């Protein structure tokens, strides 16, 4: 079932839940590999002027953060609408990366393969969080 894009306040709660669920689903081994590249990740959604942060550690934990001091080690920038469309089958994630609609900073292109194991659980978690928060 396709859902409309949630309003900003609801999207923020959905994303917080998404990050929590993603941390439970991604294998510790995958997180450890990513933690060798970066320890803090910023998720920026310019259309909602929203910044969310996660920490990755060498123990394999993926944890949401309230905020960070300074700049994150890596950042993913995309509109909330684009994420929502990908999750509900109205967008193509690889095409959005290659066309610049989704930007990644701090993750060398040769290391992107280590990021892939996070994407499936992240997208599944977003859909699950939408159902939990939106009802």
For the stretch 33-77, pLDDT in tens is: 889 888 999 999 999 999 999 999 999 998 989 889 999 999 999
| Residue 34: CB atoms within 10 Å | 21
- pTM of this structure: 0.88
Domain boundaries, the chain: 8-134
DSSP state, 37? T
User: pLDDT category, 2, cuts 50, 70, 90?
Assistant: confident
Distances (CA, A) of 1 to 45, 87, 127: 23, 11, 10
User: pLDDT category, 108, cuts 50, 70, 90?
Assistant: confident
**pLDDT score for 117:** 72
Q: What is the CATH number of domain 8-134?
A: 3.30.1050.10
């Amino acid at each position: 079932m396709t859902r409309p894009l949630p309003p900003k306040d609801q999207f923020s709660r959905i994303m917080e839940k998404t990050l929590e669920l993603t941390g439970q689903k991604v294998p510790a081994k995958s997180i450890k590999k990513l933690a060798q590249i970066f320890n803090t990740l910023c998720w920026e959604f310019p259309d909602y002027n929203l910044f969310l942060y996660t920490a990755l550690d060498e123990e394999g934990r993926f944890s949401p953060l309230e905020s960070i001091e300074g700049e994150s080690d890596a950042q993913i920038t995309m509109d909330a609408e684009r994420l929502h469309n990908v999750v509900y089958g109205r967008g193509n994630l690889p095409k959005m990366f290659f066309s610049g609609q989704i930007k990644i900073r701090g993750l060398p292109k040769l290391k992107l393969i280590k990021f892939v194991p996070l994407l499936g659980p992240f997208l599944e978690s977003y859909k699950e969080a939408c159902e939990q928060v939106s009802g």
